[in-house]
Amino acid sequence: MILVTGGAGYLGCHVVSQLLDAGHAVRVIDAGWFGWDGLRRMVVDHPGPCELLTHDIRVLDDAVFEDVTAACHLAGLSNDPMAEFNAQANVSINRNATLALAAQAKRCGVQRFLFASSCSVYDGLSPDRAWDEDAPVTPTALYSWAKLMAEQGLRVLADDTFQVVCLRQATLWGWSPRMRYDLVVNTMVRDALSLQTVTITAPPGTWRPFAHVQDVAGVYQRVLTLPPGVPYSCWNVVAENVEIRNVAARVVGTCQAQWQERVSLIGQRNYRVDGECLNIGYPSWHSRSVLTDLSSTSQSIRAQSFVERYHPRTRNIDWLTLHETWAQEAGIPTWLDDPIEDAAHLHDSLWTLPEVAERLKIPVSWLYDRSRRSALPGLVSLGKYRRMTEEGVRALIREGSPAPADDPPHMTTPT
């Protein structure tokens, strides 16, 4: 049995699917902050045994590790904005919970522990060269710092009975059923298809390491087959280093969009990473390049509706901010400050106005007009966001309020 934390996430969906394809039994642990739909679509028809459990990694019972021989730990706050939103939660989840989970796994007899770390630990080093795993990293960003601290703690736990592999992942790209549009390539492709424009904020000479999400998922499956040996390993998972402007040029060409510049020096990472160590061990682990293989990703994004592409759930910090603010206003425990045994009841608590319009087949302009007049039932204003509670949507259905006469609403109960 393989345990996968964060298995319902952007990368996790592919890791779970590929493990099942390889014949493994899989147990998925996920807090469910972003829903289970994507993973369920991937595994619903799979004959392999797969358990889906909604838990917070900070409060796991030992029973979770029953029959588990290896763990892939992907769960955590996923980027700088989320870490900076709540620095205490970043430490609690990305460092402390990682080390507690690993110690618990070791105590329960798990033999191998794979940790999803990040190439962002190299940020701040000169982009004039590609840095390998022995580079003198001293990250200052909260997210990168917590990842590095977790790596160092895991090194202490590793021994002949508990093999640890830290995988420093490049910036991921590519389609996933739990899609993210806070990743640079995905965001460029989405905007190119939706707005016919790619906006460049990175100045010339800005580099990033990249790897396709499905290729990276395959690394986890491969590493699980390692023979017992070195107690601790740390590998860069990098397919290529590409200048951001070259990525943009390729997206513009593939999607037939235009390019506009809004250069900003704020929050720009610029570094290159050497992936040769992993390439030596697994020379065929990656098969996709951001410069030549965008077509499949663009086709999948093209199949989404505009609402799906710009849903706040696809940008992790937007979804987190929305629900943390709402929980505080509602006087209930937040996701970050208090572990929640079952977060699933929060997923559909709030609806975006485009979602309501699409589901009820009414003009979104009518909803926005009513929202400006505070005339929508269950309307919640959270900063720049306007949302409707599920009860508000149902009240709107019962109310049967007419849209403009030339475009009457056809209302159906949301499912």
pLDDT tops 60 at residue 373: yes
Evaluate whether 59 touches 339 at the Cβ level (below 8 Å): yes
**pLDDT above 90: residue 399:** no
Asked if 62 and 178 sit in the same domain, the reply is: yes
- Residues 206, 247, single domain; the answer is yes
Q: Which domain-ending residue is among 258, 288, 309?
A: 309
Report the alpha-carbon distance of residue 137 to residue 119 in Å, rounded: 10
Looking at residue 146, its pLDDT comes to 95
Collapse the DSSP code of 391 into the 3-class scheme (helix H, G, I; strand E, B; otherwise coil) and give the result: helix
Q: Do 227 and 132 belong to one domain?
A: yes
Q: How far apart are the first and last CA of the chain?
A: 34
- In this structure, is residue 404 part of a structural domain? no
| Residue 350 lies inside a defined structural domain of this protein | yes
- The answer to whether 301 and 189 are in contact (CB under 8 A) is yes
For helices 390-399 and 353-360, give the axis angle rounded to 10 degrees.
40
Helices 244-255 + 184-195 axis angle, to 10? 30
DSSP string, 132-179: -TTS-----SHHHHHHHHHHHHHHHH-BTTBEEEEEEE-EEES--SS-
334 and 359 part of one domain: yes
Q: Which residues contact 288 (CB under 8 A, 6 or more apart)?
A: 174, 212, 214, 215, 239
* Cα(176)–Cα(275) distance, integer angstroms: 23
CATH at 339: 1.10.1660
Q: Is residue 51 part of a domain?
A: yes
**Same domain for 184 and 89:** yes
What share of residues in the chain are helix, strand, coil (percent, to 5)?
40, 20, 40
Tell me whether residue 410 is in a domain.
no
DSSP state of 227: P
The predicted structure's pLDDT at residue 404:
38
The answer on pLDDT for 401 being more than 90 is: no
Mean pLDDT of 45-74: 92
Q: CA-CA distance, 175 to 155, in Å (whole number)?
A: 33
Question: Does a structural domain hold residue 367?
Answer: yes
Q: Is residue 394 part of a domain?
A: yes
Q: Are residues 117 and 11 in the same domain?
A: yes
Supply the CATH number for residue 286's domain.
3.40.50.720
**If you ran DSSP here, which 8-state letter would residue 345 be given?**
G
Instruction: Over range 180-190, report the average pLDDT.
Output: 97
Least confident interval from 228-232, 233-237, 285-289, 344-348: 344-348
Same domain, yes or no, for 297 and 334? Answer: no
Same domain, 173 and 197: yes
Selected residue with higher pLDDT from 6 and 281: 6
Residue 215 has pLDDT above 60, yes or no: yes
Q: Which residues pair with 115 in a beta bridge?
A: 73, 166
pLDDT single digits (tens) 330-353: 777 788 875 644 344 444 456 778
pLDDT at 348: 44
Range of the domain at 37: 2-309
CA-to-CA distance for 222 and 215, rounded, in angstroms? Answer: 11
Q: In Å, how far are 49, 152, 213, 313, 329 from 15, measured between CA atoms?
A: 14, 24, 9, 20, 36
Q: Are residues 187 and 92 in the same domain?
A: yes
Domain shared by 296 and 328, yes or no: no
Asked whether residue 413 is assigned to any structural domain, the reply reads no
At what angle are helices 142-157 and 98-107 packed, to 10 degrees? 20
* Mean pLDDT (whole number) for 357-385: 75
- The number of folded domains in the chain is 2
Other beta carbons within 10 angstroms of residue 253's beta carbon come to 11
Answer whether 0.85 is exceeded by the pTM: no
Assess whether 275 and 386 both reside in one domain: no
- Residues 6+ away with beta carbon under 8 Å from 384: none
Single out the residue in 268, 292, 309 at which a domain terminates: 309
Distance between CA 296 and CA 298 in Å, rounded? 6
Q: In what order do the strands lie in the sheet with 385-389?
A: 350-352, 385-389, 379-382
The answer to whether residue 411 is domain-embedded is: no
Please determine, for residue 165, whether its predicted confidence score (pLDDT) is greater than 90. Answer: yes
Both 168 and 193 in one domain: the answer is yes
Burial (Cβ within 10 Å: 0-12, 13-18, ≥19) of residue 12 = buried
- Both tokens of residue 390? 């599920």
How does residue 375 score in pLDDT terms, banded at 50, 70 and 90? confident
Residue 49 pLDDT greater than 70, yes or no? yes
